[in-house]
Chain A
Amino acid sequence: MSNKIVLGLVLGGVLGILDGLTAWFTPAVRAGIVGIVLGSMIKGLIAGVLIGFFARKVHSLALGIVFGLAVGAFLAWIIAFMQHGYYFQIMLPGAMVGLIVGYATQKYGASSQLQRA
């Protein structure tokens, strides 16, 4: 088991990249795929750190999932707001990624005290 913040960071980053890559299937935005992937990765990294930090402080699977969902949805809303559209297409996957990271950090992340022991 890895540290909760590191796990959140890695998982958020990886899922963010994968999430951004799916934009390739939308011909209208294919031209800007690099920017989308980078933006999605940064969004995932920020969400991962926040969710991992929350998981370290709050040991609750349910609260971790809710927090992950909320952070993922909020960051995705910011992106969608900057894009002036595609709210549903951006926010739903973003919220899902936050939910997965929230679950994983609570379930599989080791607390720092345990790691020191």
Chain B
Amino acid sequence: MLITGTRKGIGRHLAETYARRGYIVEGCSRGAASFEGEGYTHTEMDISEEKAVKGWISGIARRHGRIDCVLNNAAIASMNHVLLTPAATANRMLAVNVTATMLVCRDAAKVMMRRRYGRIVNFTTIVDPIGLAGEAIYAASKSAVATFTRIFAFELGAWGITCNLFGATPIMTDMIKGVPKDKIDAVVNGLAIKRLGSLDDCVNVCDFFINPLSDNITAQVIYLGGVS
């Protein structure tokens, strides 16, 4: 199983959880690993670099001969009004959130095609459907991931590979630690289930999508909290 962005937050929790359950987990992030565990291998890399992704996935394919699941969690956000957002910030967000997702999907799917089996889960966000002010570029990048995922699912269907989307509600991770509490409260109060998301909520959705029995579930999105 490949999981991107595993140094902290949701990615780290997913990596620790699945490694503990016996999966062979290959994780990556820009920085060094923040934890160690049996069954977990960490790679430091810039996931938006095509050669880095190719080399990472080639190495995994050579070591293990297969890839069953990909959880594309890595992302960066920058909460800022569009009128105060530099082009470099927008481009970096698109590179990490969109291009990197495409690269990991592309190269992992090539390995999955050998066995005509694969489960890919790409991470999106509720800030796209709820239209949260201050997150325009981040939401736009995740909207691109959503469109990419739905179409990629159709491109992969013939090879038994599913590709789905997961959108979490706010979870207390580093990504939102700088967001004012009243902003978070306003988002939570607009949900059907009025609570923050939890790390185990994320595991639960991933469990469903990566289940071998979910072979007829593709191009779908699941949001937490009642968002649709």
Q: Does B associate with A?
A: no
Interface residues of B (CB under 8 A from A): none
